[in-house]
Structure 1
Amino acid sequence: MINITYISVSKRELELNARRSVFRANVIARDLLANTDEFTEDWGLKADALLAPFIKDEQVRVIIFNDLDRVLVDTGAKLRGSTLEFQLLNECRGRKEPRYALYQVSDGTKTLYTIYPILRDGQYQGAVLRIEESDPAFSLSLGKIVQDMALHGLPMIGLASFLGHFLLSKYLEPLNQLEMGVGALIRGNFDYRISKETGSDFSPLTNSFNVLGTRLGEVEEQQSEFVASVSHEIKTPIAALKIITESLLEAKETVDRETVFDFLKDVETESERLHEIVEDLLYLVKLEKKQMSLDVDVRPMNRCLEDSIQLLLPMANQNQITLHSNFTHKIFAEFDYNRFKQVFINLIANGIKYNSPGGRVTIRLYEERQRVHIEIEDDGWGIPEEDLPYIFNRFYRVDKGRARLTGGTGLGLSIAKEIVSLHFGEITVNSEFGEGTQFLISLPKRVEVPL
């Protein structure tokens, strides 16, 4: 295991250089996805040719990781086959977002690290790490160019005039298209696209702009769906409360005391449901905005799972479901006990609720290198294949007809995913309709999270 530690410096310098580096790392990641089916070590031995266009004439080093943080390619030829573990890589894997930082080592050299995730259909495949070091020789070369221009000023003026006319004619039209596109996005027209026939020099920028428009359109659609879902979920208990109160008012002269008491119990149930929806929504917003503080400490994961199972035993017995676990030894990890207890209770409770009498929920815990894995598997109703991509969405329910019977707010899996993500972990699901469902959680044993 190789650990990388540097001293963070100058936020201003980071902001000046990061955008260009992130863009170039993005281009590398997209090119690799387009030309690679699977990121294996055998592929890594042949990948130098793919990277050659991206490092030519640049003072840059590129490292390609697979999904297990193993180095498949290193243009510096030092780390191939090694496994790296450092903060930027953990953040990139956990959040599936580009990360960057400017560092300074002991000799004063400043290095910009930019890491970009390689995602295929939303699944993390690995990452591109782009390392760009400052070099005093570069500044000297630039100074010499300026000096030569001063010595040969007149010829350069003529050449500059010719080049200026050529460049304007070649690049002004694509830039005008880009300006129009930005204006369209500002006005909310996320369907605007720049023609791919624009000059080849602008192809990466054109593609990035079009992808941005697609993503913004998706975000807008998700926001609309979210508002519609919230309205529907809140409308249901409010409608029930309205019907109950109207019924009581209409029959106020004839209704008996026992009936009033039954109605009041219904009012309490619907009020509690409405309260749960609002509380879960506020909790989820805090998680998504990273405003939730974590009480992180090294603890036995077994204990958290055992406590969750113990709490759910009455529910399991009532539904005639067997809870089975086999933890042979303690496995320690750095995590927030209460947050993960919430995750485990949600997943195990789902295995109980969406199951038939005589069913079984199995909980497994094991470790692999520097990661902890938890599996929660049931032999219940299962999830149809067409629903699997959406089950972590807010308010999404596989069987809306049974939603009132099984209870819950429809936010449990969304909350679970955000909690796992805050620990730089991953949660995935495998399921076959009518056969059962398996949730898998994987997280690093040690994490660096804001306290």
Structure 2
Amino acid sequence: MIYNILIVDDEEGIRMAIKRALEKHRIDFPFLDEPIKLSLYEAESAERALEILSDTHMDIILLDNKLPGMQGIDIMPYLNEHYPDTKILIITSFASLDIALEATKHGAFDFIPKPFTPQELKNAIEIASKQIYLNSIIKDMDKEARKIRFKFLSILSHELKTPITTLEGYIYMIKEKQLGDNIDNYMELIDKMLNKLEEMRTLIMDLLDFTNLQAESTIGEKELLSLKEIIMFSIDSQRPLAIQKSITFDIDIKSPLNIFASKNEMEILFNNLINNAIKYNKNNGKIIIKGEENDNNIIIKIKDTGIGINENDLPHIFDEFYRTVDAKSRRLSGTGLGLSIVKKMIELYNGTIEVESKVNEYTEFTIILPKIEDNKTKNFIDN
């Protein structure tokens, strides 16, 4: 397998340095028969880059913003429209990080600040390549569901290597008593280990939920549930996280909100939404949850007073593996699968989810679920 990479920079020295760093580099993922090779192309201007793109498909573009004639950021709309599957990495100086962030909002996959080391460049290319490969697997899932799903899980489990390596290092520090004999000296390490374990647990659970939903499989048997009880349980289980940020809850749910559904699925759904409302909220913020029902539907609104979602991110927040620019820049942990899982679960129940947001003010999700799925459900409730 070969990935084509286009290097767009008006400085020949930069282009040559990038080529030297990448020309012999190979990228290895689980279940690949052989590593991915990189085929490198170069252009000294945006105009020349567009000429090459018209003849050759590129998987990754390394795009310098400061180009003669046409700036790198100026061609982002064109690249997004005509090459939506190509991953674009903006190369910029530290003084131009604001431009790089703006480019990311307009569809750039990531940015690489100058000066960068060969290893930093390789890491960025590997992350982009991993995303390309995962996207190709997702597209093929319908054709080879079992085989591809197994590959998909195996590749993403590869993501567990970093936290496992970190945990191993901490454990050896404790075993060898590198901080002395006093157990109090190790409390910070233990807290970090617990955080890493939580990241791993979240990743594994998201992957399992996602693959089940890709196959349109129900997670658990359906039963008569009170969504009010599910929501209150989710709040109680995550209240310690809210307390850490001094976040308060304002709950207005007057009826039980009965529904015939899988308890596991409803818990996953509301755990994701409430966890997001905490994670992306501000210190001393508030989470407002309202629930009501009419003859046909249950309507639940979950609103936070947090960082909000940029209007360029809003159309994509339910996409698999999508993470907003603010989430990346603030280094908030996450798999980019949570809201995708939420949307797929709601759609399994013929429901809908909508989002409204204003940056630095609020984000509000509105979930509408049919009260009664079919006649069998109605008879169950009546009896």
Q: TM-score, normalised by structure 2?
A: 0.51
Map of 1:374-389 to 2, 5 A cutoff?
374-389=300-315
RMSD: 4.1
For residues 233 and 448 of structure 1, the distance between their equivalents in structure 2, rounded to whole angstroms, comes to 41
1:298 is the counterpart of 2:221: no
Measured at CA, do residues 272 and 360 of structure 1 come closer, stay the same or move farther in structure 2, by a change above 3 Å? closer
- The aligned counterpart of 2:248 is 322
Structure 1 CA distance, aligned partners of 2:84 and 2:323?
24
> C-alpha displacement at 1:364, in angstroms?
1.2
1:292 Cα deviation from its structure 2 partner: 3.0
Q: Deviations over 1:217-251 (max 9, x none)?
A: 9x9876248779947844542453465578789xx
* Structure 1 residues 225 and 360: alpha-carbon distance in aligned structure 2, compared to 1, 3 A threshold: farther
Number of equivalences: 235
> What are the within-5 Å matches in structure 2 for residues 87-166 of structure 1?
none
> For 1:292-327, what per-residue CA distance to the aligned partner results, in whole angstroms no more than 9, with x for missing partners?
344323333323223333333443333222211222
Q: Distance in 1 between matches of 2:134 and 2:331?
A: 22
Q: CA deviation at 1:403?
A: 3.8
- Percent sequence identity over matched residues? 31
CA 1:303/1:290 → structure 2, altered by over 3 Å: closer, same or farther?
same
Match 1:434 to one of 360, 363, 368 = 360
SS across alignment from 2:330: helix
Cα distance change on mapping 1:387 and 1:225 into 2, 3 Å: farther
User: Within the alignment, does 1:400 sit opposite 2:328 as a pair?
Assistant: yes
Q: What amino acid does structure 1 have at the position aligned with 2:373?
A: V
**2:111 aligned residue:** none
Distance 2:167 2:375 in 1: 42
Task: Give 1:366's match in structure 2, choosing from 284, 292, 301.
Answer: 292
Tell me if structure 2 keeps the 8 A contact 1:426–1:441: yes
**In the alignment, residue 387 of structure 1 is paired with which amino acid?**
D
Say if 2:220 and 2:264, in contact at 8 Å, map to a contact too: no
The answer to whether 1:283 aligns with 2:209 is yes
Taking the aligned partners of 1:334 and 1:346, their CA distance within structure 2 comes to: 20
Aligned partners of 1:253, 1:322: CA distance in 2, in Å? Answer: 41
After superposition, the Cα gap between the structure-2 partners of 1:449 and 1:400, relative to the gap in structure 1 and judged at 3 Å, is: farther
Letter in 1 for 2:135: Q
Task: Supply the AA of the counterpart residue of 1:281.
Answer: L
State the Cα deviation string for residues 366-397 of structure 1 (Å, max 9, x = none): 22341211111112110011111222233332
> Over residues 231-279 of structure 1, what are the superposed CA-to-partner deviations in whole Å (9 max), with x where a residue is unaligned?
7844542453465578789xx5966345677656644543442343123
Correspondence 1:390 to 2:316: yes
| Residue 223 (structure 1) aligned with residue 135 (structure 2) | yes
Residues 44-55 of structure 1: matches in 2 within 5 Å?
Answer: none
Supply the distance in 2 between the matched residues of 1:253 and 1:320 (Cα, whole angstroms).
35
Find the residue that maps to 2:313 and give its secondary structure.
Answer: helix
Q: Matches of 2:169 and 2:209 in 1, distance apart? A: 29
Consecutive unaligned residues in structure 1, runs of 5 or more: 1-188, 190-213
Instruction: Tell me, in whole angstroms, the C-alpha distance in 1 between the residues paired with 2:237 and 2:179.
Output: 40
- The equivalent residue for 1:256 is 180
Gap change, CA 1:331 and 1:266, over 3 Å in 2: closer
TM-score by length of 1: 0.44
Question: Which string of whole-angstrom CA distances, capped at 9 and with x for unpartnered residues, describes residues 9-36 of structure 1?
Answer: xxxxxxxxxxxxxxxxxxxxxxxxxxxx
- The superposition leaves residues 52-98 of structure 1 with CA deviations (integer Å, 9 ceiling, x where unpaired) of xxxxxxxxxxxxxxxxxxxxxxxxxxxxxxxxxxxxxxxxxxxxxxx
Equivalent pair of 1:294/1:450 in contact (CA under 8 Å): no
2:238 matched to which residue of 1?
312
Could you say if the C-alpha distance between residues 366 and 315 of structure 1 is closer, same or farther in structure 2, counting changes exceeding 3 Å? Answer: same
8 Å Cα contact 2:252/2:289 also seen in 1: yes
* SS in structure 1 at match of 2:322: coil
